[in-house]
Structure 1
Amino acid sequence: MDFPFDLSSLFPERISVLDHNLCAARKPHGRPEAQSQTATVIDELGKASAKAQKLPAPITSAAKLQANRHYLYLLKDGERNGGRGVAVGYLKVGYKKLFLLDQRGAHVETEPLCVLDFYVTESLQRHGYGLELFHFMLQHKKVEPEQMAYDRPSMKFLAFLEKHFELQHSVPQVNNFVVFEGFFRNRSAAQLRKAPPKKPEGEIKPYSLMEREAVREEQKALPWPFIRSTAVPQSPPLAASSPFSRSLSVGSSPSHTPHPQPHIPPHLADNCRTKRTSSLNRSQLGFH
């Protein structure tokens, strides 16, 4: 893919390593338009990659590279286009935290280096450019192909991995990433952490001692009709023939509760009865 500006001066190396700074040279360019031209190259290659993979939108752009901690390896051919060079393709990688299934079906939490996008211009494919890009990335990151995870690889990319690196048997996953058997075999226990089990839904925890005290204080501040006692009140036993037994069994209010009669000693009760009878007789006879 060629551009109206000089790629050979914009990208001094055959393979340039770009990060969020969008700077291919070891020292920043003195030209102010260098960063915008670099962004143009990345954006156009990203659009071509999305079209080749039949994606609805590009997954690689200058803005996304600036916003993430990814690395983009951009390959150029400086002898083409009259010495101004052409962009051949790129390989984008980055670290991702993934929950994967191992060969036994157990969930494992890990953060491997992942291949996120890989594209070589259609007219320059099958010339060894893709393999050159991939080998450069492996040496730069000091990683083996089976130790990596691959995000939504195409059938062409899977055939590339099988042909050049003998990666054939993948471990089925529930996400879009593909890993191979060597991924779990060649990693240490520190790199592969068992994912913690999920808590059961609807779990109800008992009130703590502090929460129970707060509820009691809140109930004390409420007026009488709204107080809800935490203990069941003890009612005195009633006889089966009592007229209040049925009402108390279905709930009753304090106004319906019979008031207890005061206890009067027998000698005072007889005196009161005698005086009452005397007063009644005097009234009936007309004496006042």
Structure 2
Amino acid sequence: MEFSFDINYLFSERVTVLDQTLVPCRKSAGRPDLQAHVAKVIDELGIASAKAQQLTAPVTSASKMQAQRHQLYLLKDCKSNGGSGVVVGFLKVGYKKLFLLDLQGVHIEAEPLSVLDFYIVENLQRHGYGLELFDFMLKHKNLEPVMMAYDRPSPKLLSFLAKHYCLTQSVPQVNNFVVFEGFFLNRAVAQLRKVPSKKPDGEIKPYSLMEREVVRQEERALPWPFVPPHSPQRLISSQCSHSLSVGSSPNRVLSRAASASAPGSNRDQNPQFPVIERCRARRTNQQGLVVRCSLQSPHGQQRGWTA
């Protein structure tokens, strides 16, 4: 892939490693023009890779490189384009936290180095450039290809891995990543962690501690006929039992009862006060009727009291 600017001046090494800073060498640091050239190279390579893989959007771009902690290996040919050099291809890798299925179908949590994008210019393919670039990355990371994961590999990449690294037996996964059998056999146990199973649901408690204490106090309280009419205990107990029946909070009921019994409170503003007064007047009238009936004789005459 040719560009209007000098590739050899922009990338001094045959294989250049780029990170999120997009600075290929010291001379490009603090040079906005050179960094703009680097961004243009990465964007053009990302578009060409997406087109070759028939993707709707590029996986690799300069903005994505700056936002993520990935590494991009860029390969050039310094002798082409009249000595200005051309870009041959690139390989992007990065660590990904994955939940994988091992050989027994158990979910494993791992964070392997993953191949995220790999592209060689079409007219330069089948010239050994892809193998050279991939081997450089493996030596730089000191890693074997079987210990890596591959994000949505194309059929060309799968045939490339089978031809050069004998990776053919993959383990089916539920995500877009591909791993091979040796990934689980050769990896240290400390690097793999089984995903813990979901904890069983605890026992459902019907009442809170506050509600249970209110129920105990209500059970220990005297029944209605033996409690004085103006007893604060009876008023609080009855209101608490009503609050528990409708699902209200006992704290709110206790605060309302305490404020109603406080000195200087207006009892006429209490919506329950008229009902209580009517019940009390009715009970007094019934008691007076019983006394009047007991003072009458069987023939309807009143009895006289003698000293």
Instruction: Please tell me whether residue 102 in structure 1 is matched to residue 136 in structure 2.
Output: no
Measured in 2, the distance between the counterparts of 1:54 and 1:65 equals 21
How big is each residue's C-alpha offset from its partner over 1:103-154, in whole Å with a ceiling of 9 and x where there is no partner? 1111111111000000000000011100011111111111111110000001
Instruction: Please tell me whether residue 272 in structure 1 is matched to residue 295 in structure 2.
Output: yes
**Match of residue 90 from structure 1:** 90
Provide structure 1 residue ranges, at least 5 long, that are not aligned to the other structure.
Answer: 224-253, 281-288
> Percent same amino acid among aligned pairs?
59
How big is each residue's C-alpha offset from its partner over 1:219-264, in whole Å with a ceiling of 9 and x where there is no partner? 33568xxxxxxxxxxxxxxxxxxxxxxxxxxxxxx97xx9697599
Question: SS of 2:249's equivalent?
Answer: helix
One-letter amino acid of the structure 2 residue matched with residue 152 of structure 1: R
Q: When the two structures are superposed, what TM-score results if normalisation uses the length of structure 1?
A: 0.76
**Match of residue 47 from structure 1:** 47
RMSD: 3.3
Structure 1 residues 89 and 204, CA gap change in structure 2 (3 angstroms): farther
Structure 1 residues 53 and 278, CA gap change in structure 2 (3 angstroms): closer
**Match of residue 254 from structure 2:** 220
Question: SS of 2:190's equivalent?
Answer: coil
Give how far 1:196 is off: 2.2
One-letter amino acid of the structure 2 residue matched with residue 168 of structure 1: T
2:97–2:109: 8 Å Cα contact kept in structure 1? yes
What is the correspondence of 1:25-174 to structure 2 with a 5 Å cutoff? Answer: 25-26=25-26, 28-29=28-29, 31-174=31-174
Give how far 1:274 is off: 4.4
Question: SS of 1:178's equivalent?
Answer: strand
Q: When the two structures are superposed, what TM-score results if normalisation uses the length of structure 2?
A: 0.71
Give how far 1:187 is off: 1.3
**Match of residue 194 from structure 2:** 194
2:18–2:73: 8 Å Cα contact kept in structure 1? yes
One-letter amino acid of the structure 2 residue matched with residue 220 of structure 1: L
Measured in 1, the distance between the counterparts of 2:63 and 2:83 equals 29
Give how far 1:212 is off: 7.1
2:28–2:35: 8 Å Cα contact kept in structure 1? no
How big is each residue's C-alpha offset from its partner over 1:67-113, in whole Å with a ceiling of 9 and x where there is no partner? 00000000000110001000000000000010000011111111110
Structure 1 residues 70 and 79, CA gap change in structure 2 (3 angstroms): same
Structure 1 residues 194 and 21, CA gap change in structure 2 (3 angstroms): same
Give how far 1:205 is off: 4.7
Give how far 1:190 is off: 2.0
Measured in 2, the distance between the counterparts of 1:10 and 1:277 equals 126
Structure 1 residues 219 and 114, CA gap change in structure 2 (3 angstroms): same
More helix by share: 2
Question: SS of 1:190's equivalent?
Answer: helix
Measured in 2, the distance between the counterparts of 1:186 and 1:15 equals 29
2:295–2:302: 8 Å Cα contact kept in structure 1? no
How big is each residue's C-alpha offset from its partner over 1:206-227, in whole Å with a ceiling of 9 and x where there is no partner? 365368789211233568xxxx
Higher relative contact order (CA 8 A, sep 6+): 1
Structure 1 residues 208 and 137, CA gap change in structure 2 (3 angstroms): farther
Measured in 2, the distance between the counterparts of 1:151 and 1:279 equals 108
One-letter amino acid of the structure 2 residue matched with residue 171 of structure 1: V
23-32 or 83-92, larger mean C-alpha shift: 23-32
Measured in 1, the distance between the counterparts of 2:102 and 2:19 equals 32
2:138–2:144: 8 Å Cα contact kept in structure 1? yes
One-letter amino acid of the structure 2 residue matched with residue 144 of structure 1: E
